[in-house]
């Protein structure tokens, strides 16, 4: 049977585009459907615009800290509309780059929805195309909890479209999205209240890392309400009335308030036509094997819609591994061990490998040795600020192998990215100890901990 395409990709996010281009490099005829902007969540409503807002939020502190070095005080104000325009301009530029890359790879792009009509057929707009293999890379979307007044809450998508800086912000959720936006909005000058269901933010991260970030956020002036949740929201002439349940059972009236629900995301499977195929879905997630293959043999899926590890580089890695195997003749699968990640909070955090708790559970508590270091970086000495950096190594005693590395502090992501190479290669604590440090730097602490 002949097909219109060797591969048809539904979804033009990072994973879908990377897969399409890699398959095309091997000579495959590739089509791709995307109804929205190219680049997906990361480029348009996630990693990129959020990181640019993180940078923006740091400038007030930088101007203040410069005075300790002899610079005169600077009175500066944020032009909110200019910030939004600049960030949107960069997003537009990246969209153009993605389109050029796909054009250069001879990938045919359909700027419309792709809907499955069968195992080999996709409806794109008012036409139908066939493909030998189909890749689903539709990503995910934020959702709001089903509570009274949820229509007055916004999701993370709306944070990039606010017409002006809010005076007060309520953020519901203790995951990395909630934490990052709490720090961003505080840095931009808003009063921030963060509401979390547990006693600590960032469930799943190392306990020491969680504590270090939360303590610093509190010291900076972010108010965190632990062990409680929002039961309802009402709009009044004064703003939003947010009703809480849990440890805090008082209503709060928030004037000029933005309520951000950062309580979860789900795969973007609506109207995808999966019912016309044998693709298996459980709890809203596409089920795939280690080759990213679904229950329908010629249909594959990568990225957030499979809910494995929901990170942009992971989706890209999954897609390229699929293309290498199916179109490049290579035998490869995606490895999920020792994937580094970061939280762009203030202070920043980054991690790779096992947490202390995970290592003790996997290897036994008596076999694990933990190295910690907490110090004030040189940068803050002259400014007089008591900002601290925290670093941690989790080591297996018997093999001396470094199982995990964790950091909270300036440039944590940049530093852990390099450390991740060593951890991925199986470096030992002795390897770290015999590495000469770069002095003076915070990074050298990773090779001097005893």
What are the catalytic residues?
A: 439
CA dist., res. 430 & res. 447, Å (int): 9
Ramachandran area for residue 383 (φ above 0: left; ψ -120 to 50: alpha; else beta): alpha
Which residues, other chains included, contact 110 with Cβ-Cβ below 8 Å and sequence gap of 6+?
A: 31, 32, 33, 34, 124, 125, 129
> Helix and strand tally (H, E) in the chain?
10, 24
Q: Are 319 and 19 contacting, i.e. CB atoms less than 8 angstroms apart?
A: yes
Chain centroid to CA 87? 18
The three-class DSSP label of residue 372 is strand
Q: In Å, what is the CA distance from 126 to each residue of 123, 129, 130, 245, 405?
A: 7, 10, 14, 49, 52
CA dist., res. 275 & res. 292, Å (int): 19
**For 379, which DSSP code?**
G
- For residue 77, count CB atoms less than 10 angstroms from its CB and return exposed for 0-12, middle for 13-18, buried for 19 or more: exposed
- Could you please report the per-residue DSSP string of 174-234? -SHHHHHHHHHHHHTT-EEEEE-SSSSSSTTS-HHHHHHHHHHHHHHT-EEE-SEEEEEEE
396: β partners: 368
Residue of 164, 167, 178, 274 whose CA lies nearest to 217: 178
- Could you please report the per-residue DSSP string of 169-185? EEEE--SHHHHHHHHHH
Residue of 12, 8, 22 whose CA lies nearest to 318: 22
- Could you please report the per-residue DSSP string of 378-392? GGGTTTT----EEEE
Residue of 129, 116, 112 whose CA lies nearest to 270: 116
Chain centroid to CA 253? 31
């Amino acid at each position: 049977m002949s097909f219109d395409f060797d591969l048809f990709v539904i979804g033009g996010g990072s994973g879908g585009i990377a897969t399409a281009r890699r398959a095309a490099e091997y000579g495959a005829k590739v089509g791709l459907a995307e109804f929205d902007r190219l680049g997906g969540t990361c480029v348009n409503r996630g990693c990129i615009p959020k990181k640019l807002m993180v940078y923006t939020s740091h400038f007030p502190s930088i101007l203040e800290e410069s005075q300790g070095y002899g610079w005169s005080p600077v009175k500066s104000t944020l032009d909110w509309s200019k910030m939004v325009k600049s960030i949107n301009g960069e997003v537009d530029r990246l969209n153009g780059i993605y389109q050029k890359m796909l054009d250069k790879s001879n990938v045919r792009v359909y700027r419309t929805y792709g809907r499955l009509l069968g195992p080999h057929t996709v409806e794109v707009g008012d036409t139908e195309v066939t493909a030998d293999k189909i890749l689903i890379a539709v990503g995910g979307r934020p959702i709001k909890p089903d509570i009274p007044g949820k229509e007055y809450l916004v999701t993370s998508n709306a944070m990039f479209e606010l017409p002006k800086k809010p005076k007060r912000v309520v953020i519901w959720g203790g995951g990395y999205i909630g934490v990052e936006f709490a720090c961003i909005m505080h840095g931009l000058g808003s009063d921030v209240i963060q509401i979390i269901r547990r006693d600590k933010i960032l469930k799943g991260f190392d306990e020491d890392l969680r504590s270090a970030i939360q303590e610093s956020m509190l010291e900076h002036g972010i108010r965190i309400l632990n062990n409680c949740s929002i039961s309802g929201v009402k709009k009044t002439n004064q703003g939003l009335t947010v009703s809480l349940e849990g440890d805090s059972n008082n209503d709060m009236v928030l004037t000029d308030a933005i309520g951000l629900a950062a309580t979860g995301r789900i795969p973007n499977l609506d109207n995808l036509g999966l019912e016309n195929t044998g693709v298996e879905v459980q709890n809203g997630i596409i089920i795939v094997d280690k080759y990213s293959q679904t229950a329908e043999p010629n249909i594959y899926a990568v990225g957030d819609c499979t809910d494995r590890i929901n990170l942009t580089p992971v989706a890209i890695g999954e897609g390229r591994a699929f293309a290498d195997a199916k179109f490049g003749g290579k035998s490869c699968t995606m490895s999920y061990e020792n994937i580094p990640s970061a939280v762009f909070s203030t202070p920043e955090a980054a991690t790779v490998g096992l947490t202390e708790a995970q290592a003790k559970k996997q290897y036994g508590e008596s076999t694990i040795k933990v190295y910690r270091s907490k110090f004030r970086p040189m940068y803050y000495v002259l400014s007089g600020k008591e900002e601290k950096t925290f670093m941690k190594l989790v080591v297996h005693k018997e093999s001396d192998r470094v199982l995990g590395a964790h950091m909270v502090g300036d440039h944590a992501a940049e530093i852990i990215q390099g450390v991740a190479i060593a951890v991925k290669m199986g470096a030992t604590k002795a390897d770290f100890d015999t590495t000469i440090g770069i002095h003076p730097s915070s990074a050298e602490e990773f090779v001097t901990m005893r």
